[in-house]
Amino acid sequence: DGGITQSPKYLFRKEGQNVTLSCEQNLNHDAMYWYRQDPGQGLRLIYYSQIVNDFQKGDIAEGYSVSREKKESFPLTVTSAQKNPTAFYLCASSKRVGGFSEQYFGPGTRLTVT
């Protein structure tokens, strides 16, 4: 089955700790994305990557970091610098970055920081 997997589904961390969220896709897509979803705010783009070893900041990149060492993988690290890390995080991929390419989403990771 082709698709996007995110793990874990639920994640709990103490304030001050960095945490890494996993995202893997087997769709052979070039582009990958990380979004944050908060109630009443829709989805906001954190980072995106067009190809391996390249990524760009989205609208709310502060306090987050990413890497793209393999085409299939795009992990997101929520650092202790992120002021409001508790949220639902969604990973997506598309054949390429651009208007003609729809995005496919993973199931999401719900992060709770206390």
Partner 1 sequence: AQSVSQHNHHVILSEAASLELGCNYSYGGTVNLFWYVQYPGQHLQLLLKYFSGDPLVKGIKGFEAEFIKSKFSFNLRKPSVQWSDTAEYFCAVNLNTGTASKLTFGTGTRLQVTL
Binding region for partner 1 (CB under 8 A): 33, 35, 40-45, 48, 50, 56, 58, 90, 92, 97-100, 102-108
DSSP state of 70: B
Best CA proximity match to 5, nearest among 64, 70, 88, 92: 92
Q: In terms of CB distance, is 71 or 110 closer to partner 1? A: 110
Phi, psi at 42, each rounded to 5°? 70, -155
Tokens at 91, concatenated: 């990973």
Distance of closest approach, residue 14 Cβ to partner 1, in angstroms: 27
Distance of closest approach, residue 32 Cβ to partner 1, in angstroms: 12
Distance of closest approach, residue 37 Cβ to partner 1, in angstroms: 9
Q: How would DSSP label each residue in 46-69? A: EEEESSTT--EE-TT-TTEEE--S
Q: In terms of CB distance, is 58 or 75 closer to partner 1? A: 58
Whether 32 contacts 23, CB under 8 Å: yes
Distance of closest approach, residue 97 Cβ to partner 1, in angstroms: 5
Q: In terms of CB distance, is 71 or 88 closer to partner 1? A: 88
